[in-house]
Chain A
């Protein structure tokens, strides 16, 4: 299959490209930008006039809900959502049921995901058995089965000795360790950021110290063990400052933030909206400002959707009882663009946070339009607007605090390994 993508504004943050150009694809790879290679005969062309052509998006946190939670989402539903969102590579956290703690489960997931129209799936294996924080998983076996990193999803390892050993063991083989920094004791029973809003609404709070104390532990152990640490879903200004300080002192740690924490704060809980029940909690306005700037200046390495489809029954509950999480993969690009516009950032800088930067964290061959790279490409119209409604979402999860919002940025087509995975050019 040879494809010619014509006349689009090609933005490749990795290569520093931002100009109107043509992109040529053959045998699943990018074969040329600007000039067609000699003898290139196209089987199909995409007219990208007025659109942006960029590397397919890389999302660091997409819950596919398989195995175990098929009533919330299936691989089919979420992969259709991914393709329609321009996402061509995604990492999925291990909090399935059972968790991704043995090679068979990972192999099955990889096998189920083998479809030319499906995004590349990179499972994050469980760091401990059943995510229980007691015994290590067979990381080498899991890595062979396809895990690119090891983590605990949203659960903490309470026993710091186990945490230290898990990090040591992972470091032995050079496996990255992905951890969410939240002290389980300080967060106990908490459902919202411990601040004025929680006080007013009578919601049990999770203090910022739950994040900073866990960060202090993880960062110290990263120094001791030499583990390559990625901190997921940073939520506070104080946490961000600690990561920046740790890097200055030579500790190697990357981090990401979710789209929700970039755009919302605890005030968006409004009248107990369960859609704003998230983990970690939405924090204060000043925390949000720090996250928005931290992502812009690169202190935060990547932006992710933290995609968590939840069924209505588990969401339509009083705030504190509602299941945390929001569906998000389809909002990753529009909310990146919104952030870029509001922060007056150049588009290449913004797109880097959802393409080459997360690809680097995953250590995968993706996130660039350089000749020879896999032809994972997203073509989108940055000005086309749409309203976020239950009907407009392809994901089986309809739970998002952005319902009813008007957003800009519609994906026209998505190529995965040179296959047209989504063609919404007439939509």
Chain B
């Protein structure tokens, strides 16, 4: 069976997940992103690469940051951008996900940027486009359920490469709610594919998925032990709803065990960088002193995110 993400020439057709993409492909995306970071510093921040193309942002789950960065990226490439925030109400009107897709395909869309609460929704769309002969439309996964958030994973890799140059000697720790995190899954696949020799995940047993070590990571429950000697600390957002129920006793207790403080960060390498996909919960997963401190590269992540998304979109639809 052909990889759904690649066309018959082995080129990127959709970006659905980092899993299964080659190291060369990931490097090519990171390389392509580099020139776009300079565009942002120009007076005129536009390139004509997607001129005349229609990019539909299909957001079935609320998001401000990701949607905005995709919108900026598409606009800087001169695409026409249409934002559709589709909440549960339109599903209750009876239109299915694939009905929506068919309708937008009929409007001569060139690209769908999809955010959906269910794992696998972008795969379903890509398979449907293939089955209905509309696979000239590209699908970019902007986050599906707990499954994947590939552009986030890529922008994180861009950030790491920017500060650390080489992946092959690094120790990287991912901290927090791995279980529910699509970001963590994409990070793990990207890091292991790019040759990072040691990827660690740190969290309580309630927030680590079953058999997570099979993804090629070392599991730590003690944050201090897990942070020892790392080059990169990747914090994850703890969603508010996880703090209710039986996963955790309280945000305070989570912070005590798994919040990143200066004291815990001191166990990492002196030049370690601290990343966070945002939005941050200060005082829950990360202390303000760290978030605003010299090790944090959280705002550069956002800037690089636009360049990486421009690179992905231009590789897919830039001709």
A interface with B by C-beta (< 8 Å): 194-196, 198-205, 207, 270-272, 274, 313, 316-321
- B229 at the binding interface (Cβ < 8 Å): no
Known contacts A200-B19, A318-B118: A271-B145 contact under CB 8 Å:
no
Chain A residues whose CB sits within 8 angstroms of the CB of B250 once the complex forms: none
Cβ of B210: which chain A residues have Cβ within 8 Å of it?
Answer: 194-196, 198-199, 205, 207
Report yes or no: B120 in contact with A201, Cβ–Cβ below 8 A.
yes
Residue of B whose beta carbon sits closest to that of A270? B1
Per-residue interface assignment for chain B, residues 98 to 131, with 1 indicating a CB less than 8 Å from any chain A CB and 0 otherwise: 1000000000000000001011110110011000
9 extra A-B contacts, CB within 8 A, seeds A200-B215, A202-B144, A318-B120: A202-B146, A203-B120, A271-B123, A271-B127, A272-B119, A318-B97, A318-B124, A318-B145, A320-B145
Cα of A137 to Cα of B182 in the assembled complex, Å: 45
Q: A317-B124, A320-B145 are in contact. Are A199 and B214 (CB under 8 A)?
A: yes
Whole-angstrom distance from the CB of B95 to the nearest CB of chain A?
11
- When distances are taken between beta carbons in the complex, the residues of chain A under 8 Å from B120 are 201, 203, 271-272, 318-320
Q: Does B148 count as interface, using CB distance less than 8 angstroms?
A: yes
Q: What is the chain B residue whose CB lies nearest that of A204?
A: B146
In the complex the two chains form, what is the Cα distance from A205 to B179 in whole Å?
11
Query: B118 contacts A321, CB within 8 Å?
Result: yes
Contacts of B19 in A (CB 8 A): 200
Residues of B within 8 A of A319 (CB): 118-120, 124
Residues of A within 8 A of B96 (CB): 313, 316-317
Residue-wise, chain B 135-152 has the 8 Å CB interface mask toward A (1 for contact) of 000000000111110000
Residues of B within 8 A of A204 (CB): 146
Question: Judging by beta carbons under 8 Å apart, are B121 and A318 in contact?
Answer: yes
Partner of A202, one of B145, B211, B214: B145
Verify if B212 is at the interface (C-beta below 8 Å from A). yes
Residues of A within 8 A of B128 (CB): 316
B99's nearest neighbour on chain A, judged by CB, is: A313
Is there an interface contact between B119 and A320, defined as CB atoms closer than 8 Å?
yes
Q: Determine the residue in chain B with the shortest Cβ distance to A269.
A: B120
Whether, in the assembled complex, B76 has its beta carbon less than 8 Å from a beta carbon of chain A, the answer is no
Whether A320 contacts B123 by the Cβ 8 Å rule is: no
| A199 touching B124 in the complex, CB below 8 Å, given contacts A271-B4, A313-B96, A318-B118 | no
Q: At the interface, yes or no: B185 with Cβ under 8 Å from chain A?
A: yes
Which residues in A have their C-beta under 8 angstroms from that of B182?
202
State in angstroms the CA–CA spacing of A205 and B4 once bound together.
Answer: 25
Is A199 a contact of B119 with CB atoms below 8 Å? Answer: no
A176 to chain B, nearest CB (A): 35
* Cβ of A310 to closest chain B Cβ, rounded Å: 14
How close is A266's CB to chain B, nearest CB, in angstroms?
11
Q: How far is the CA of A201 from the CA of B16 in the complex (A)?
A: 12
Does B62 reach chain A (CB closer than 8 Å)?
no
Cross-chain contact of B185 among A202, A205, A271, A317 (Cβ < 8 A)? A202
Minimum CB distance partner of B149 in chain A: A202
CA distance A284 to B271 in the complex (A): 43
In the complex, the answer to whether A318 meets B4 with C-beta atoms within 8 Å is no
Provide the residues of chain A in CB contact with B116, threshold 8 Å: 318
| Nearest CB in chain B: distance from A70 CB, A | 19
Contacting residues of chain B (252-287) with chain A, CB-CB under 8 angstroms: none
